Amino acid sequence: MAVFTAVSLDDLNHWIGQFSLGKLLAVQGIASGIENSNFFITTESAEYVLTIFEQLSFEQLPFYLQLMRHLAQRGIPVPAPLANRAGEILTRLHGKPAAIVTKLEGHSQMAPQPVHCAAVGAMQARMHLAAQDFPLSQANLRGLSWWAETAPKVSPFLSEADRQTLKLEMQFQQTQAGAIAALPAGPIHADLFRNNVMFVGERLTGFFDFYFAGCDSWLFDVAVTLNDWCVDLASGVIDAARARALLDAYHAVRPFTAAEKALWPALLRGAALRFWLSRLYDLHLPREAEMLTPHDPDHFLRILRQRQTGLAMELY
């Protein structure tokens, strides 16, 4: 993530004393991403990830942190939030919400093969099922209502052709909203891109960065994932072998329904629209940060236009 709030060893030495982690040895900012301030911190006990939350409030954050704890307790490999000596997993640093979580083993797989996609699909289905009994509820904060709010803000920065694409896609998604709302749903990751999954070789070691999570259709989560893991990055075209591996592995754990099959093309389009809008917003209406890496909105415009052609991999 980008660093909006800088911290130093001196800043953290006193603060970290509330945790039973031993002496703080090193802190390093993490440059990728655009929402929170993240750091690798090394203590005498291990290496962890510290997050200072720049957008989410103290009231919103228990959903994300408790969801991660819930999943970890059910055997899903995710970063587990650490409690301080008072039993709190959410604390305050520089006046902002902050949390420490365990650090996953491995590296992101940025050139995935079908074997990696199959591992992601199976684990995503397991994650959805494991979260079914999670007691907290929060809407997907980057869902349809956010799209409707954000589209007019970014529209002035678009060409006439792109404005028309945005207008028509918003109209289409609004016509599908009722049917999509009736699909199987629950807590979802909502941002399961390649850089949010860790592997050691072909072994999946964990999902992380749950801070876009919310309650939405499981199929939307799958569409977000496929639109990143199973595409040619230059064109946005779906890679059939990777897509088939991901979908078959998911379906083997949590079978898709007939209603999901019928709405699959609409969800792929909606998943592309969501990230086109967010990248447009981050590019044209940015917040200041010490390290900021905005992403190219045109990548998801290409994906959206590909999905609008109706050429998509069947669910099953």
**pLDDT tens digits, 126-164:** 999 999 999 999 999 999 999 999 999 999 999 999 999
> pLDDT band at residue 264, thresholds of 50, 70 and 90?
very high
Task: Note whether 186 and 255 are same-domain residues.
Answer: yes
Task: Note whether 92 and 18 are same-domain residues.
Answer: yes
Average pLDDT, integer, range 222-242: 96
Average pLDDT, the chain: 94
State how far the Cα of 1 lies from the Cα of 132, in Å rounded to an integer: 29
- For the four alpha carbons of 215, 285, 5 and 103, in that order, the dihedral sign comes to positive
Nearest in space to 33 (alpha carbons), one of 188, 273, 142, 196 = 196
φ and ψ at residue 273, rounded to 5 degrees? -60, -45
Whole-structure pTM value: 0.94
Instruction: Please tell me whether residue 288 adopts helix, strand or coil conformation.
Output: coil
For the cut 60, the answer to whether the pLDDT of residue 242 exceeds it is yes
- Residue identified by tokens 């050691």 is 200
Average pLDDT, integer, range 175-186: 98
- pLDDT for position 313: 76
Domain end among 70, 102, 134: 102
Task: Note whether 134 and 84 are same-domain residues.
Answer: no
For the cut 80, the answer to whether the pLDDT of residue 33 exceeds it is no
How many Cβ atoms from other residues are within 10 Å of residue 111's Cβ?
7
- pLDDT for position 154: 98
* Domain region containing 93: 9-102
Give the chain's domain count: 2
For the cut 80, the answer to whether the pLDDT of residue 289 exceeds it is no
Residues 6+ apart with CB under 8 A from 6: 29, 37, 290
- pLDDT for position 311: 76
Task: Note whether 202 and 299 are same-domain residues.
Answer: yes
Q: CATH number of the domain at 266, please.
A: 3.90.1200.10
Domain end among 44, 74, 102: 102
> pLDDT band at residue 278, thresholds of 50, 70 and 90?
very high
Domain end among 53, 80, 102: 102
Residue 125 is assigned to a structural domain of this protein: yes
For the cut 70, the answer to whether the pLDDT of residue 225 exceeds it is yes
